[in-house]
Chain A
Amino acid sequence: MASGGGYGDASQKVDYVFKVVLIGDSAVGKSQILSRFARNEFTLDSKATIGVEFQTRTMVIQHKTVKAQIWDTAGQERYRAVTSAYYRGAVGAMLVYDITKRQTFDHIPRWLEELRGHADKNIVIILIGNKSDLEDQRAVPTEDAKEFAQQEGLFFLETSALQATNVEEAFLTVLTEIFNIVNKKTLVAGGEDEQANGGGNTASLTGKKIVVPGPGQVIPEKRVCCSS
């Protein structure tokens, strides 16, 4: 149950902590994507998320150690009591829908609106069509989602948490992008220094120590990719 769970060493030196939030309709597989990424697990008997949950996983990007702190919340979040706390300090967001349920895709603009209303405006966003293993039940054509992502300047991938398809890639896309943006900017406080201070804040819940991408950042348009 420790962070990373054998999937990264918890005690290792951390250069960056990136907070990423998962959002999307109920039952699209947000928690499954998270558990696939953080623990390489898929539970057939998962339950609806209540309140918030989170997992961490440490990975190496361009020889730097990055700790991803992924927050997950209930899909039915019109009643979120933790909106501001949830988005506070988030530098990445994964917008998830279910490729077999059209409605979950149709709701994506609403989620995007909420994201833009509450999160930092330079947050890196990836659109994710989950359950790509259920090709025979597909209700959202890849092209539709790709087009939408291009319009909105989002990354896009289709994933299958069940088959572990593209989950790693999706997170890496977001984290690498954040990493590149952060790296381009001059860091206010070097990652190593933080660690030298005893690591007290290396995993701050609000991600305050993270340099948020500046206003000049442009989300690359051509980095859109898809699985099929």
Chain B
Amino acid sequence: MAADPTDASMPDACSGFSSLYRNLRGLKWRIDLGILPSSASIDDLRRATADSRRRYASSRRKLLIDPRLAKDGINSADLTMDNPLSQNPGSMWGQFFRNAELERTLDQDLMRLYPERGSYFQTSGCQGMLRRILLLWCLGHVDFGYRQGMHELLAPLLYVLQTDVERLFEVRKAYEDHFADEFENDPTYKFDLKKFGNSCATPGSDPEILQMMVSLTDAYGAEGELGVVLSDKFMEHDAYSMFDALLSGSGGPVSMTELFDPSPSIKACGAIYRLLSVADASLYGHLVELGIEPQYFGLRWLRVLFGREFDLEDLLIIWDEIFSHQNVSFYRAAAIVEEGEEEEEEEEGISGSPRGLFICFFAVSMILNLRSQLLSTEIPTAALQRLLNYPSSDIKIERLLEKAKSMMAAATSQLRSGGSASEGTTPVKVVAAAAGVSYWEEKWREKQKEKENTTMRSMKGWSQRVLRLQLSRTISDPSPSRTDDERVGIREPSVRRSLLKDLEQQLDDDEE
């Protein structure tokens, strides 16, 4: 396929996302969340689609048991164990009753989900899908279970899939001939989703886009109907895989489940304040002085990824941006963290990947947006109330995003151009905050600057910076390949570990 001239060079040529891109947000999110490969043939896409749906279907079969429907002679052969009065927790009925209990808990929150959009979220069809997805996820993660707020992470995912399908119907209606039997589809057709995203075409007006749409809905390709990428029949399956990827983080530093646990969630809130202290020291100082701990408002912001502070349509735009940032650890991407070094990775916390860092910067942007109001009050409750009742009606979401993006760009460019990091305190701080290093390390760095060029210690500091610079280079590469990772990863992990130890030691010495 010929290179697309609009590719990358003019992404904003038609005021932000192209209509098509916006219209197929669910598809974009499935790619961003790692469920579908970003660059693949239509057959590969179909296979990935079908595989994820099969996984869901099989766990649904396994976990959602209705003992009343059990096949004779298969599951219920042992009536001494499998009867409704059985005390055995492992019995089919025991499981059934536990599920029922969990379902009641879920229903309590689902009934209260997006009441302002009840015409969709409160329909029995939608509630049923949401309930089954949550139930299955909880049954598959028994140790974790259901936490309030999860339902609000799931709801927008299902919503965008629904919207995709509706858009598809519109296009199909308008261009019926194209969607008629498409036996002649080229199976070797390569998907270039960047083009997809940047095209200014309205659905169908560009023959190539139309061809993509047709391919994405074609049931005759690999895997048959199960492989239809955009399908209304498998919305539940697709939403589940997105939800699971979002909660687990697919191995990256941002896993939403962590934000439901006390310690990591408080740490994540702390990361917001750390970045704020760099971005606006006086506002940060003011909030600290008032005794406003970041978790008072941050927990809610982070747990539902700002879902409570913004209207759904605005939220989707925020999530577009969040998901478009990779959730790959700065360190892992550079192959610095090897297996068995989990503790290192844990220390990075939420700001350890571009996605997490962006989430934090967005939160900072929200705080900065209230700057004058916050600074003008000396009453803690008044300030906290401003933060807790985020003014979503009169807010320009684009401005918040712009601010977050510009801070993100500043931080990552500092990472990229490691040399300039030594020019002043602020860049150093930005780098430190951006990379999620802890406070002592930052302090040490400042002290270090005074003794630059003279000691071995400053050499170590410098080499750390270079290390980070390399990391970010890898991250910023749109498609980091294995070979890149290996090249950057020549440094031994153990070296880095001992470096950190040295730093710690140094700080202790300095303080004594």
Q: Which A residues lie at the B interface, using CB under 8 A?
A: 1-3, 10, 26-27, 44-54, 56, 69, 74-76, 79-83, 85, 198-206
Contacts and interface: CB of A to CB of B under 8 A. Distances in A.
Contacts of A206: 291
B147 interface: yes
- Classify the secondary structure of A's interface with B: loop
The 7 closest A-B pairs by CB, nearest first: A45-B115, A51-B299, A51-B300, A81-B262, A203-B381, A205-B380, A76-B148
Contacts of A50: 148-149, 152, 299-300, 303-304, 308
Interface stretch (B44-52, B84-92, B106-114, B212-220): B106-114
22 contacts: A3-B381, A26-B148, A27-B112, A44-B115, A45-B116, A47-B113, A48-B151, A50-B148, A51-B299, A51-B300, A54-B384, A69-B381, A79-B260, A81-B261, A81-B265, A85-B295, A199-B379, A203-B381, A203-B382, A204-B291, A205-B291, A205-B384
Interface string B325-339: 000000000000000
B378 A45 contact: no
A204 B112 CA distance: 32
B389 interface: yes
Contacts of A2: 385
Contacts of B296: 51-52, 82, 85, 205
Contacts of B379: 199-200, 202-203
Contacts of A199: 378-379
A1 B290 CA distance: 20
Contacts of A79: 147, 260-262
Contacts, number: 105
Contacts of A44: 115
A191 to B, nearest CB: 15
A51 B295 contact: yes
Contact of A80 (B151, B262, B292, B304): B262
B259 to A, nearest CB: 9
A81 B291 contact: no
B380 A203 contact: yes
A82 B299 contact: yes
Given A79-B260, A81-B295, A205 B118 contact: no
Contact of B112 (A48, A54, A81, A82): A48
B293 interface: yes
B297 A51 contact: yes
A51 B303 contact: yes
A54 B295 contact: no
A94 B248 CA distance: 36
B90 to A, nearest CB: 24
- Classify the secondary structure of B's interface with A: helix
Nearest to A45: B115
B391 to A, nearest CB: 8
B171 interface: no
Interface residues of B, number: 41
B105 interface: yes
Contacts of B298: 51
A54 B303 contact: no
B507 interface: no
Interface string B109-134: 10011011010000000000000000
Given A45-B116, A50-B308, A81-B266, A76 B382 contact: no
A3 B295 contact: no
A54 B291 contact: no
A205 B295 contact: no
Nearest to B259: A81
Given A50-B299, A54-B385, A205-B380, 6 more contacts: A3-B385, A50-B152, A56-B385, A79-B260, A82-B296, A198-B378
Contacts of A85: 293, 295-296
Given A53-B388, A79-B262, A82-B299, A27 B381 contact: no
Contacts of B384: 54, 205
A2 B382 CA distance: 8
Nearest to A52: B296
A50 B105 CA distance: 15
B389 A205 contact: no
Contacts of A204: 291, 380
Contacts of A205: 290-292, 296, 380-381, 384
Contacts of B378: 198-200
A51 B268 CA distance: 14
A77 B512 CA distance: 42
A26 B108 contact: yes
B127 to A, nearest CB: 15
A3 B385 CA distance: 8
A56 B379 CA distance: 12
A48 B149 contact: yes
A195 to B, nearest CB: 12
A52 B269 CA distance: 14
A206 B262 CA distance: 20
Contacts of B291: 204-206
Nearest to B297: A51
Interface in B282-302: 290-293, 295-300
Nearest to A26: B108
Contacts of A47: 112-113, 115, 308
B98 to A, nearest CB: 15
A45 B118 contact: yes
A27 B295 CA distance: 23
Contacts of B113: 47
